[in-house]
Structure 1
């Protein structure tokens, strides 16, 4: 399916999976807005994606935002809504994995703030343009969500990092939050015509391993050259947004291109509702 003339937004698009997704979207003819944190790396990535999509006539824009800061997420959403009256594809991909507890400027555990809460807020703020466009939302998850447990401690303690035990568990919590958000958004926004799916893109050779001193991350860093390239996961993302056979597929969890069952907590509707309502409070969206 050609995406000629369609509009796409990709977060965390300066490298790895996000950049690969942006390139494939541009090659398919979509006009792509890349959301990055660093201007220099973002401009370099934008130039590469522009070259990739040149033959298809794609236009590629760069937006800067530190997604761990809610003020910047709101400002980003405002700029996007003003410049893009219709959004056909939104890929919530930006993410970090940390080996020690850190807090965002808003007082949230940094992975929870970046990997989950920012995308919850951004998607809420883009509801009107998503409704006006095709409204295909892909929230990038991870197999690591199976190591999360949002029932072990109160949601407030998890969100604030007060229940911190291990970095990989906290990373799993943020990814489990993404899946709960995906499934609950279908229940709440399905009548708008918006679809939402989540997927594990595979264990890829990306920069997420850098700067992480945990044994698991060190092992992944040492074997990085043996891991699949980001394009493998990017193709799985594209199947969810450019395959007409999947236009009605929503509220699903995929491992690459194969649908799977997620962790049992992902299907806990009470937990999903509680997380949604607390997230509205944490983002001042109530």
Structure 2
């Protein structure tokens, strides 16, 4: 079992030893691993089983291979391989192989260990997370963290890993191997703790979350099932234990995996909602504000008025959801660009160029964002829109505050900083979208960063 020296992993190891299992802990830190092994042996019921340690860094491919070799030398047969190790990154860190750290630990390590150990496996349990539904994996950018986001990257890596579970199921269909993905719930562990004041506040919030022992229950549940005859032909099961979620990223449609993650009814509902959102944007782009009506959208989408109201409550609700979706896409681009900047000045340049690039690459979404500010259909859903926007605004503010404190940026009220930083580029984009003569986004990208920086630079 990986990640077994604390949290859910330690709780799982404790329960398995109580049941008389031999447990091999894979940990990155030798000292902590040895402490865990000693504590497990001294725990009530620990004498019924045994614990031993394998040390390896699951963020490094050569180390993952070394772990597989060591496990293979110790275990002729692995009854259950539990992938529990996980990283929630708060900043972009690349491994010596060039991969984003959490992508390596959360996705590549389980994937590679499954392949390297498959001849010894009887059952695999992948500890996943319900936040996979918030993931948006870009195969070209996510592996190396080029789309890094302090909140979404964890979701991306969990989704990437979960999408491989059905593939292993198919691969092992006649091998007598079972693979299951398990959501342990919202559990009080050290995952994602940022340290400092935020970390202390998060610990206070986590007091209301489930204890690690509760999270261990769905993992150890699979151990209670009888093992199969290793020579038998079996149907491999794929199970995901979690509450139902309303939203799945639409790109899953093209992956051929939606059927593994959702019921047929959920699939139909998500497809309908996605069709309404896509059609609404198309209608607005082609007909503008005057032609953006409920009748035009239902006609373009082929979805009934009743179904629109079922999914979004009203036409204004649909418009608000579309606005939030477009705004999220814009801010994700801004935050990704910010994450690569090392100084306040390069951060300003990154935001300006990312905003203009998004406008040029996604004119329909950008046009809807800017037009919505003057439309009446957002007023009734202001709280919903603000709630969707808040985490991303907080991410930008979180990047700016330490640089203000360090004197890199003028000490000004945050709303004024936002106006000085975003205001000029947003107005430039709005005028370009409106077709105002003389507006060139390329020229703006060359001129605006330095002009905006002058307004934000300390005196």
- Partners of 1:94 and 1:115 within 8 A in 2: yes
**Structure 2 portions without partners, runs of 5+:** 229-233, 258-459
TM-score, length of structure 1 as denominator length? 0.80
Give the distance between the partners of 2:179 and 2:236, measured in 1 at CA.
8
The corresponding residue for 2:147 is 163
Alignment pair present for 1:136 and 2:123: yes
The corresponding residue for 2:158 is 175
- Partners of 1:182 and 1:251 within 8 A in 2: yes
Give the distance between the partners of 2:167 and 2:57, measured in 1 at CA.
25
Please list, as runs of the form range in 1=range in 2, the aligned pairs for 1:67-216 lying within 5 A after superposition. Answer: 67-130=58-121, 135-150=122-137, 153=138, 155-164=139-148, 166-211=149-194
Deviations 1:70-104 (A, max 9, x none): 11100010011111010000100001111221111
Relative to 1, partners in 2 of residues 1:269 and 1:14: Cα closer, same or farther, differing over 3 Å?
Answer: farther
Relative to 1, partners in 2 of residues 1:60 and 1:269: Cα closer, same or farther, differing over 3 Å?
Answer: farther
- Give the drift of 1:244: 4.3
Give the distance between the partners of 1:266 and 1:179, measured in 2 at CA.
15
Give the distance between the partners of 1:85 and 1:213, measured in 2 at CA.
45
Structure 1, 44-53 or 58-67: larger mean CA deviation: 44-53
Relative to 1, partners in 2 of residues 1:27 and 1:200: Cα closer, same or farther, differing over 3 Å?
Answer: same
Give the distance between the partners of 2:238 and 2:197, measured in 1 at CA.
33
Deviations 1:8-55 (A, max 9, x none): xx1001100011111111111110000111111111111122233434
Give the distance between the partners of 1:265 and 1:180, measured in 2 at CA.
14
Give the distance between the partners of 1:28 and 1:186, measured in 2 at CA.
27
Relative to 1, partners in 2 of residues 1:81 and 1:270: Cα closer, same or farther, differing over 3 Å?
Answer: same
Give the distance between the partners of 1:34 and 1:40, measured in 2 at CA.
13
**Structure 1 portions without partners, runs of 5+:** 1-9, 273-286
The corresponding residue for 1:54 is 46
- Give the drift of 1:192: 0.7
Structure 1, 203-212 or 262-271: larger mean CA deviation: 262-271
Alignment pair present for 1:23 and 2:5: no
Give the distance between the partners of 2:197 and 2:102, measured in 1 at CA.
15
Relative to 1, partners in 2 of residues 1:25 and 1:264: Cα closer, same or farther, differing over 3 Å?
Answer: farther
Give the distance between the partners of 2:222 and 2:130, measured in 1 at CA.
18
SS in 2 for 1:138: strand
- Give the drift of 1:260: 8.2
Deviations 1:148-204 (A, max 9, x none): 012xx3x0211111122x222110011011211112110111211111111211111
The corresponding residue for 2:313 is none
TM-score, length of structure 2 as denominator length? 0.51
- Give the drift of 1:265: 6.8
Match of 2:214 among 232, 246, 259: 232
Relative to 1, partners in 2 of residues 1:105 and 1:251: Cα closer, same or farther, differing over 3 Å?
Answer: same
- Give the drift of 1:222: 2.6
SS in 2 for 1:32: strand
Deviations 1:198-244 (A, max 9, x none): 121111111113336797x7754331222211000101101122134
The corresponding residue for 2:370 is none
Give the distance between the partners of 1:125 and 1:182, measured in 2 at CA.
16
Relative to 1, partners in 2 of residues 1:268 and 1:34: Cα closer, same or farther, differing over 3 Å?
Answer: farther
- Partners of 2:3 and 2:86 within 8 A in 1: yes
- Partners of 1:97 and 1:209 within 8 A in 2: yes
Give the distance between the partners of 2:76 and 2:180, measured in 1 at CA.
22
- Partners of 2:173 and 2:236 within 8 A in 1: no
- Give the drift of 1:268: 5.6
Give the distance between the partners of 1:250 and 1:262, measured in 2 at CA.
24
Relative to 1, partners in 2 of residues 1:254 and 1:214: Cα closer, same or farther, differing over 3 Å?
Answer: farther
- Partners of 1:209 and 1:221 within 8 A in 2: no
Larger radius of gyration: 2
The corresponding residue for 2:406 is none
Greater relative CO, 1 or 2 (CA 8 Å, sep 6+)? 1
Relative to 1, partners in 2 of residues 1:77 and 1:214: Cα closer, same or farther, differing over 3 Å?
Answer: farther
